[in-house]
Amino acid sequence: MWKYEKRLQFPVNIKKKDLRMAKLLVTQYGGSNGELAAAFRYLNQRYTMPDNRGKALLTDIGTEELAHVEMISTMIYQLMKDATVEEIKEAGLDSHYAEHKRALYPTDANGVPFTVAYFATTGDPKADLSEDMAAEQKARAVYENLIDLTNDPDVIAPLLWLRQREIVHFQRFKELYEMYVKEGY
């Protein structure tokens, strides 16, 4: 079922340490509009799609969202690489450091831990796809906000790529939604 290639979907090669950006970017890891929530949302909703088209689309996009988690994690790691404890404290990451040291932990930018309350599955394909379209638009907006908060081209490039994937996912969900409306699901 899985073919793992030891490379990211889009290259991440951040050269400059930026703990402030790492603190903000973590929201796309474990925040309500982040990649982890999207992956869980789609991989759970796929089971109640009425046909194989829906099951396949949610499986494909849910799996891709897991690859996006890997990209975000890599970005955060690179942004924090070689940071001293003093720099971690100055960036306001000391509470994270106290609990997790340098390990990634899914939270939003305010440190609120990930929760499954961030996503829903109703068993109604149109309701679930409507939520999925909204989720993709919210993730796109967050990526745009993050892009506004940095001037590092090594950070901006993967953020732009991820933003574009949100647009593509929205379009695929919209197409499936419209098909299901037309077919009376």
Q: pLDDT digit string (tens) for 135-162?
A: 999 999 999 999 999 999 999 999 999 9
Residue 8 lies in a domain: no
Residue 163 lies in a domain: yes
Q: Which domain holds residue 102?
A: 19-183
In a 13 Å sphere around the CA of 65, the CA atoms on its Cβ side amount to 28
Residue 5 lies in a domain: no
pTM of the model: 0.95
Residue 27 lies in a domain: yes
Q: Is 90 helix (H, G, I), strand (E, B) or coil?
A: helix
* DSSP of 101-116: TTS---B-TT-PBP-G
Domain count within the chain: 1
Give the residues of the chain that fall short of pLDDT 50.
Answer: none
Residue 167 lies in a domain: yes
| CATH code of residue 136 | 1.20.1260.10
Q: Is 143 helix (H, G, I), strand (E, B) or coil?
A: helix
